[in-house]
Chains A and B, each alone.
Chain A
């Protein structure tokens, strides 16, 4: 069990998460080394990791409240220490919920819970909602979005029942805005931030799709970039540039493994503010059967 995670992206496998394999594959698609890390392994093994990702799914089946049970797990002590000292940490969907319930995000008062990811508020429906949405990359210190242009429109899927960023503390919200911590907002395919459903798919304040900490190394992101990492994953009916690109590639299998819109979240680790040199890149692509979890 003492496999080394030095120089690697560790994808934490809490019980009940279900996006861990494709998240590992997405990280590998940009040449990073990535491995699963079971929640109850020795947290010390993460010491030399390049970055940590909390993948999507339903840790502890969202019982009580999405993310809150995992937030109390022992491994979070280690992640708290790593994140507060600058280690890149990304929470996707359920992972974002864990980060908010842990108080890493917004993180102005470290570990104090200053936000919630509340149940979606939508027109004519409630509960779970899965669809492709568009994000606008805002000016922010975020390490995970540094390879996107400012105001670039990024289509990615969402799939959640509790994704509405809210806070009771309006002063806090202003502070977050001022700090540029709202890294991504839901928008139309042309980049317009419209607060109405379905552009804002869950009723989030300020159309927030992703919030980073003030330093930018931690990002809580509700949408799923690992589901938009290859061109083949983009629906051809999708409005906007990426849908057109996918349509143009129809019948051209050689283009299917090209970059998709979400891949650059991981690529950001290789450049700019996220810069940390990875170890030797391993080949991308999810293997047929589940990736083997690290064991001796």
Chain B
């Protein structure tokens, strides 16, 4: 059976990269009128083939907990999600880990001005060429007997919270913040060796659950 596996990993301790990005975006690039929260994760998404869902979850969980290339339990929170690859089975998600992604929306009080409701965009940044991803695939494969790993996406996810009138504006703002096109434009990636995609955009006013 085919499954789609996602692993999100976040630091338990203060994330200095996130802090610097926040300061740069708000103080040097004038996004203080929109930006109201920022979080950063390591991300792996892959298609795997295995006998059954439970076996895949158990094995992948064991490996990523043991191997510090993915997580070190002393410094990371993580969330592992396994869902069926075909549309019918996709609804059911098996999860492991101590990171609650549905509530991990670090809104900074008093930030982001007055430009509408808060939208959260998950922006995935990967390196071109796929060498790192092949390395991770091989690394996982040697440790996962009985599971075949295919189609790996590995990179960094920035969860960017902006105040915007709608999702479209949120996506536009996030791309402006992210893609470095010139000295005055963009910060988070250089398109000459990195690729990006918006994985999803959440309207936090619709889904209130995160306020917990």
Contacts and interface: CB of A to CB of B under 8 A. Distances in A.
Chains A and B directly touch (beta carbon < 8 Å)? yes
A68 B187 contact: yes
A65 B29 CA distance: 16
A68 B180 contact: yes
Contacts of B187: 64, 68-69, 72
Interface residues of A, number: 30
Among B24, B28, B191, which residue has the most Cβ atoms of chain A within 10 A? Answer: B24
B89 to A, nearest CB: 37
B110 to A, nearest CB: 23
A60 B183 contact: no
Contacts of A169: 192
A22 interface: no
Interface stretch (B14-22, B74-82, B139-147, B203-211): B14-22
A118 B29 contact: no
A76 B190 CA distance: 18
A18 interface: no
Residue of B127, B181, B190, B193 contacting most chain A CB atoms (<10 Å):
B190
B184 A111 contact: yes
Contact of B17 (A63, A101, A103, A118): A63
Interface in A77-116: 80, 101-103, 111-116
B183 A111 contact: yes
A80 B183 CA distance: 10
Interface string B185-197: 0011111111000
Contacts of A118: 127, 190, 192-193
Contacts of B189: 65
Interface of B: 16-17, 20-21, 24, 28-29, 127, 131, 180-184, 187-194
10 contacts: A69-B187, A72-B183, A72-B184, A76-B183, A103-B182, A111-B182, A111-B184, A118-B190, A121-B131, A164-B193
